[in-house]
């Protein structure tokens, strides 16, 4: 397996992603990986390597610039809040990562997808909402609310949302609004899977409740949500 840093830009901001791909010949589907609120770190990189092991070209994107990482919830709120307050800027950063992935010679640009965790889950949904050329997006315990709902007929991607029933960042009313948005937008392929006894951050083994009391790893939900992602990708990418 190959792994290396990839620098790309969004306006004046330098972004440093992490690329992982297996050995092989010919073009392969490409998958973006968008990080949690702490920034691009080992968790997202490990998921990129895991995707590479499945035969995809995986680019873990950098949404904050210069691979900046937060060390506490106050920094998370500043970094994430700044982008969520300006959805056009957030989407532009996502588009820059998509362009960087599509420019790689190993990537089949007709077969692109994106996954995201926590904050990254909201990023992939924003890309889908604006009609990005993605076959599928998968949000793992992501925020579902948006300031710019999808317009009818705009979303092209298949959408999979994996969320915890007790996640305070995706409460029942937000989930209901999201489902209504999908219906109103005429999205052809969307699904929501709600995991019982699951809180926020259920995919990350490092989520032990110490930084955020309601963020806790759940091995069963992690394993099942990843399997659901693989099933969707098998259907639309291969």
Residue 24 has pLDDT above 80, yes or no: no
Residue 188 has pLDDT above 80, yes or no: yes
Listing DSSP states for 35-98 in one string gives --TT-S-HHHHHHHHHHHHTT-EEEE--SSSTT---SSHHHHHHHHHHHHTSHHHHHHHHHHHH
Phi-psi label, residue 98: left if phi above 0, alpha if psi -120 to 50, beta otherwise: alpha
Residue 94 has pLDDT above 90, yes or no: yes
Q: Which distant-in-sequence residues (6+ apart) come within 8 Å of 89 by Cβ?
A: 83
Q: List, for residues 105-144, the tens digit of each pLDDT value.
A: 999 999 999 999 999 999 999 999 999 999 999 999 999 9
Q: List, for residues 50-87, the tens digit of each pLDDT value.
A: 999 999 999 999 999 999 999 898 999 999 998 999 99
| Residue 3's pLDDT band (cuts 50, 70, 90) | very high
Per-residue pLDDT at 23: 83
Q: At 10, is the secondary structure helix, strand, or coil?
A: strand
Q: What is the Cα–Cα distance from 7 to 92, expressed in whole angstroms?
A: 16
Per-residue pLDDT at 219: 98
Per-residue pLDDT at 238: 84
Closest CA to 99 of 21, 237, 7: 7
Exposed (0-12), middle (13-18) or buried (19+): which is 69, by Cβ within 10 Å?
A: middle
Q: What is the pTM of this model?
A: 0.97
Q: What is the mean pLDDT of the chain?
A: 96
Closest CA to 104 of 204, 29, 45: 29
Closest CA to 127 of 162, 164, 87, 160: 87
Per-residue pLDDT at 9: 96
Q: What is the Cα–Cα distance from 147 to 149, expressed in whole angstroms?
A: 6
Q: Are 37 and 43 in contact (CB under 8 A)?
A: no
pLDDT above 90 coverage of the chain, percent: 93
Establish how many alpha carbons lie within 13 A of residue 220's alpha carbon, considering only the half-sphere containing its beta carbon.
Answer: 7
Closest CA to 152 of 124, 182, 132, 192: 182
| Residue 93's pLDDT band (cuts 50, 70, 90) | very high
Per-residue pLDDT at 26: 84
Q: What is the Cα–Cα distance from 164 to 218, expressed in whole angstroms?
A: 10
Per-residue pLDDT at 211: 85
Per-residue pLDDT at 121: 98
In degrees, rounded to 5, the angle at the alpha carbon of residue 135 between the alpha carbons of residues 137 and 175 is 30
Q: Are 115 and 138 in contact (CB under 8 A)?
A: yes
């Amino acid at each position: 397996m190959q792994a290396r840093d990839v620098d790309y830009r969004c306006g004046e901001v330098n972004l440093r992603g992490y690329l992982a791909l297996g050995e092989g010949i010919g073009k392969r589907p490409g998958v973006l990986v968008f990080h949690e609120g702490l920034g691009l770190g080992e968790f997202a990189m490990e998921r990129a390597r895991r995707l590479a092991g499945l035969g995809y070209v995986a680019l873990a994107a950098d949404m904050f610039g210069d691979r900046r990482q937060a060390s506490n919830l106050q920094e998370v709120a500043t970094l994430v809040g700044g982008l969520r307050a300006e959805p056009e800027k957030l989407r532009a950063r996502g588009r820059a990562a998509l362009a960087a992935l599509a420019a790689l010679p190993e990537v089949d640009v007709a077969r692109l997808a994106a996954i995201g965790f926590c904050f990254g889950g909201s990023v992939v949904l924003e890309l889908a909402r604006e009609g990005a050329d993605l076959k599928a997006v998968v949000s793992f315990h992501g925020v579902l609310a948006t300031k710019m709902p999808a317009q009818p007929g705009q979303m092209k991607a298949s959408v999979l949302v994996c969320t915890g029933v007790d996640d305070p960042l995706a409460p029942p009313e937000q989930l209901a609004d999201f489902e209504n948005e999908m219906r109103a937008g005429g999205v052809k392929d969307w699904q929501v899977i709600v995991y019982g006894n699951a809180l926020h951050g259920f995919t990350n083994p490092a989520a032990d409740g110490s930084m955020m009391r309601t963020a806790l790893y759940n091995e069963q939900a992690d394993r099942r949500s990843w399997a659901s992602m693989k099933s969707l990708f098998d259907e639309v990418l291969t």
